[in-house]
Amino acid sequence: MDGGNYLIPVDARLERDTDVYDEALSLDRVLVAIEPAKKLRLVILDACRDNPFSRTMKRTMASRAIGQGLAKVEPTSPNVLIAYSAKAGSTAADGDGKNSPFTAALSHHLTKPGLDVRRAFGFVRDEVLKTTGNKQEPFVYGSLGGEDVPLVPGPARPAPAAAAAPEPTFNTQAEARRDYELALQIGNRSALNAFLAQYPDGFYASLAKLQLDKIAAEETRVAATEKARLAEQERARLAAEGAQKTQQAKAEAEAKAAEQARLAAEKAKQVAQDQAAAAEQKRIAAERAAADKAVIEKAAIDKTAIDKDKAVNMAALDAGPPQADVTKSVQAELRRVGCLSAEADGNWNTSSQRSLTLFNRYAKTRLDTKLASTDALDTIKAKTARVCPLVCEHGYKADGERCTKITCAAGSFLNDDNECEKRRANKRDRPEARQAPVARRIPDAARVVVRTSRSPTGEPYFGASQGYAPGEKQQFLNSVMSR
């Protein structure tokens, strides 16, 4: 409907065309369910039929299209195959037998060991066309890669002469077990015969034969039961119609023989079931024992491999990489974490040792600085960010991951501590200090009388008398003493 495909349950009513969204199952929903598959996503639809509700279903919109059969589909995911029993826009036949022509052809070809699924669908197409007189053509939509994808694995190919030793027997048994379980899940005669064609001998072949005996016993029981039912019906009919005694006696004998055959078939079926069940129990026990043995063997092999790897690793550790490469790598890592400014040249000199010392200081480590070692390399590699702070030359300062020039303001200068300092003026540079001394003229009217005498200690003593302006007397005495 409207280009979409829907699978209709048997109890759907679909009174209106919009009911399909609630009562039917969209093919897109089926494709979503198989998305987790990796190698092959396969959908097989033997459901290409006309809409059985076309006459009774009411349409809510006259323009809504309801086509014949299934609509064409284009898968958008990789490794997807969608098989229709009939080409898009056509219908499939139910056939006269137990299965439809499409299903019968699938059972013949899809389970063949080693047959690629695309070739299997090709054979199915040919058989259906032949069976239906070219009236029904199955079709497959989607694509796969270039490798063969069989649903049932084929027989193992013989290894070439120059190939390595064959795999252990346990792996071969594991493959046989997997194929046997797949055939057991399919549960029909064709699947078990396909398994026996691939594995004609061995433990799982015997189990498959017992399963075939079980299927044969069931078929015999069904046939005997039906024959007994028909014989009883015939006997009852002759008795009701009053047939001749000879006919009634013959019918009664046949009914009795059919009943005995039915009972024998029931007994044979029970015996076959018991044998198959006992064989399955033995299989489970044998697989458990084989799995335990494999675990023990694997543990021993793993231990041997671990011991061998340890010996190889120790030898490799003793040899180690060339010392020049280690030194160069350590220097490169020291440059990365900001502890070395020189180039990584592989020469472990004083500068390199000093840089590792800086790393020890800021990373709180105790690496040996005399030699570049792999331990030092691993320790430095573990640091994801800068370890040593950025060091700039005089006149520059750290700004993130680079150095920028320091510019001082007017009236300031860059001191030895790489800081701007305000300039201070000296006393001799002051204006008042540079002024020439001004001689103070003593008034002419002033009369000075200087007397010189000795003090009691013998030091000269000057005395003067005159009228002075305030402070002028001391100034005068100072000038006299300086002469």
pLDDT at 167: 44
pLDDT at 322: 77
Query: Does the structure show a pLDDT above 70 at 464?
Result: no
Query: Does the structure show a pLDDT above 90 at 380?
Result: yes
The distance between the two most distant Cα atoms of the chain, rounded to a whole number of Å, is: 199
Contact 461, 477 (CB under 8 A): no
In this structure, the strands spanning 80-84 and 139-143 are antiparallel
Compute the average pLDDT of residues 396-420.
Answer: 84
Query: Does the structure show a pLDDT above 60 at 393?
Result: yes
Mean pLDDT value across the chain:
78
Task: Tell me the pTM.
Answer: 0.34
Compute the average pLDDT of residues 127-139.
Answer: 88
What are the pLDDT digits (tens) for 290-300?
778 888 888 88
Tell me, what amino acid is at 351?
S
Residues 6+ apart with CB under 8 A from 474: none
User: What percentage of the chain carries pLDDT values higher than 70?
Assistant: 78
Residues 6+ apart with CB under 8 A from 39: 79, 149
pLDDT at 168: 43
Which three-class secondary structure state does DSSP give residue 397? strand
Best-predicted range by mean pLDDT among 60-64, 262-266, 332-336, 389-393?
Answer: 332-336
pLDDT at 379: 93
- Answer with the residue of higher pLDDT: 367 or 449: 367
Q: Which residues pair with 419 in a beta bridge?
A: none
Contact 106, 125 (CB under 8 A): no
Q: How many CA atoms lie within 13 A of 324 on its CB side?
A: 2
Q: How far apart are CA 341 and CA 334, in angstroms?
A: 9
**What is the DSSP-derived secondary structure letter of residue 26?**
E
> Poorest-confidence range of 115-119, 170-174, 362-366, 468-472?
468-472
Confidence class for position 456, pLDDT limits 50, 70, 90? low
Residue with tokens 């028909």: 230
DSSP for 335-388, written as a single string: HHTTS--S---S---HHHHHHHHHHHHHHT----SSS--HHHHHHHHT--S--S
